[in-house]
Amino acid sequence: MHPAIFVSASVLLGILFALQEWMSVRLWSYHIGIRLLLEAWGLQYFLWGVLCWLLWRWLGPRIQQAKAFCIITRVLPLSIVISIAEEMIWVSCFPHLPLNRPHLTYWHRLAFQLDAELIDNMVIFWCAFALFRGVGYYQKFREKEDAAAQLSVQLAHAQIATLRMQLNPHFLFNTLNSISSLMRIDVAAADTMLEQLGSLLRITLERGQVQFIRLNDEMEFVEMYLAMQERRFAGRVRQQLSVHPELHDALVPAMILQPLIENAYTHGLSKLDSDGLLVIEATRRDKCLMLSILNNGAGLNSNPPKGSDGQGVGLANIRSRLRLHYGDQHTFDIREVTQDQVEVTITLPLQFSASPTEKLTRFGE
């Protein structure tokens, strides 16, 4: 906030107090010049305005986050020090106050003023403190609201991106082309592929707006996607999936793996004629869930720099979704394990779904 806001708001308050005192002393038929009152009150609150701004400037975040212990051991002494300091400056500016006592020394005057004003000063300090905390809470609240709004926009983008994945030249047309050519030589295989494409679209639509899903649901989707890729790549790629049984219920952002697997195919595995390897693993590291996708396609150097094609957009989308969901509690790395082997690793805080799954499973007859 701008210092002018602090100082002007504070001086305005001082002027109001001065007017109030002027009216009340008039009521008692006692005369003090309005000018002196305005000067005294005005200066006092001007000083407070400056002090508050300095506090805000230097200690604002620390005051907002201070815990009870810190408030007692640090902020309380600080409030006394600042209250006294303010009074010292004020007293030195008004050597002729208090009125009618011309011969007091500076220290006597200070003691006199402190006697009357220390508590008031403390109240001003703690009001400012409360105000800072309130502003902090409000800002945090707004930030959270903004993050939530941003997340839903991001998710909408992710969904559009997934749908685009199924409807873009990359995937849908290639799949349709595969079906079209299979149709002439192997009707059953073409049929299977159509069924798989149908299931994939059905699941995508069903998921709708959900932000987090269980890992086993995400893996089910991945398995379906891999089954289609397997048919397209006809035995050129060996797929290995492993999920630690403890992690089936762990929550992951919906559609987090598929774009990465698609990248593994388009930028790596598609460049191999045989012996492709794709390893997808979900493991537990203490309180973290680690997802890794490794392929032995082409290595990082063989690919054009990010952003020059679709890859950058997909990765940027994943990065920003992870950041919005987890802040700095996650990691996202792409690295070359050995030459030609690229591994993408994501670690997330391990969270489990609280609500039971709505399950279709029934036993009968």
The only residue of 120, 146, 186, 191 in contact with another protein, by rule CB under 8 A? 191
By C-beta, is 204 or 295 nearer to another protein?
Answer: 204
CB 229 within 8 A of CB 166: no
Sign of CA dihedral 15, 21, 27, 28: negative
Only one of the segments 42-50, 56-64, 330-338, 354-362 lies at the binding site for another protein (rule: CB under 8 A); that segment is 354-362
How far apart CA 75 and CA 69 sit, in angstroms, is 10
By C-beta, is 157 or 244 nearer to another protein?
Answer: 244
**Does 284 interact with another protein (rule: CB under 8 A)?**
no
Please state the closest distance from residue 250 (CB atom) to another protein, in A: 11
How far apart CA 129 and CA 132 sit, in angstroms, is 5
Question: What is the pairing mode between strands 276-285 and 331-338?
Answer: unpaired
**Does 208 interact with another protein (rule: CB under 8 A)?**
no
Please state the closest distance from residue 230 (CB atom) to another protein, in A: 13
By C-beta, is 205 or 337 nearer to another protein?
Answer: 205
**Does 360 interact with another protein (rule: CB under 8 A)?**
yes
**Does 283 interact with another protein (rule: CB under 8 A)?**
no
The pair phi, psi for residue 107, each rounded to 5°, is: -65, -35
CB 302 within 8 A of CB 271: yes
By C-beta, is 235 or 364 nearer to another protein?
Answer: 364
Q: Which helix (H) or strand (E) holds 126?
A: helix 106-167
Total interface residues for another protein by CB under 8 A: 29
- What track of x and - describes contact with another protein for positions 239 through 278 (by CB under 8 A)? ------xx-xx-----------------------------
The only residue of 166, 211, 216, 345 in contact with another protein, by rule CB under 8 A? 216
**What are the residues whose beta carbons fall under 8 Å from the beta carbon of 189, sequence distance 6 or more?**
182, 231
CB 82 within 8 A of CB 48: no
The only residue of 8, 168, 302, 357 in contact with another protein, by rule CB under 8 A? 357
SS3 label, residue 335? strand
**Does 362 interact with another protein (rule: CB under 8 A)?**
yes
CB 349 within 8 A of CB 330: yes
Sign of CA dihedral 338, 342, 346, 352: negative
Binding site residues, another protein, CB under 8 A: 188, 191-192, 194-196, 198-200, 202-203, 206, 216, 220, 223-224, 227, 245-246, 248-249, 357, 359-365
